[in-house]
Structure formats: C-alpha cells, structure tokens
Amino acid sequence: MPTATYELISTSTTSGTVSSITISSIPSTYTDLVLVTSGTTTSAGQLIYRMNNDATGGNYTTTNWFQSNNSVSNNTSSGLPGAYIGNYSVSGRAQDTLHIANYKNTSMWKTFYIYGGAGTSVGDFITSGGIWKSTAAISSIVMLVNGANFTTNYKVSLYGILAGS
C-alpha cells in the first residue's frame, strides 16, 4: 500500500523584523527534508543556512549558479560559517525551496540542493547546492541574511518525506 507522505512538520511567519529564523526540534521520523521559504529582506544579501546552528568556517561548501542583473554567474564558497545562497533584493519577494537528502544519516555528510529567486530588477534566479561536512543528524536549521534582516511575514514551512517500503 503506498504511503502518503510529504508531511508538514512546522510552519511559521515572522511578526516583525528579525535577524534570524530557527527551525528546531526536527524529528528523526523522515528520510528527506524540504524547506520552503518566501518573503523579503531589509536589504540585498545572501541567504545563509546553518545546520544545527553550526557556524564553523570550513564546514560548508556551496556552489551557486545564478542569473542576476542580466548576467549568468556561478561561484563556490568554502570556509564560510554557513551555506551562502544567492543575492536577494529588498523590494522583491524571494521564494526558495531547499531539499536535504538523508538528513538523519549519521555516516554521511549532508548534501542539499536549493532553487529559487526574486523576480525583481535587483533579484536573481538561483540554483545551488552544497554539503555540510558533518555526519550528525540534522535537528535544527537556522536562517540568516548576510548584512540584513528578515522583514515581517517571512514564511518558513518544513516538510518531511518518508521513504517507501
């Protein structure tokens, strides 16, 4: 019998300007996680994800491939205190979907893939991926903006996907 999955674990919306958003107490029930976010930031800046709030420089490698300001670019960052994604505008509404495979596996590093963007004159379309160099199960995710804050009504929804039998 197929198992219905892709379950909403948590959802929240900011009620004011905040410097960070934390999704905590992630259950170990699922196989993959999907984090869907949308909102605006107080100014342009890269979105930052930290797994288990790990801010250790060197624990992340992230490659961004994006279109911004009428040009296609790509970059790789390694050694930063988080996964640095994209470059978002203040006036647009950015939407991102982050996939994390095998988030609770304790023998492998965690690979993630994200796509999204902000369709404004100073926004971008991005597709990015990276690794968190840790074998720890992911139990929380912290979101920040490099040099900026999240504004009111920034929505964050976490989903869990079960594997089949």
Cα–Cα distance for residue pair 135/85, rounded to 1 Å: 22
Using CB under 8 A, list all residues that contact other proteins: 2-6, 31-32, 61-65, 72, 74-76, 78-79, 99-102, 107-109, 111-113, 115, 127-131, 133, 135, 161-165
Cβ 129 to other proteins shortest distance, Å: 2
Q: Which residues pair with 54 in a beta bridge?
A: none
Q: Which of 111, 8, 97 is nearest to 51 (CA)?
A: 111
If the CB atoms of residues 93 and 99 are measured against other proteins, the closer one turns out to be 99
Cβ 159 to other proteins shortest distance, Å: 9
Structural tokens at position 107: 């023998």
Cα–Cα distance for residue pair 87/67, rounded to 1 Å: 10
If the CB atoms of residues 14 and 63 are measured against other proteins, the closer one turns out to be 63
If the CB atoms of residues 132 and 150 are measured against other proteins, the closer one turns out to be 132
Cβ 145 to other proteins shortest distance, Å: 21
Report the amino acid identity of residue 54.
D
Helix (H, G, I), strand (E, B) or coil at 31: coil
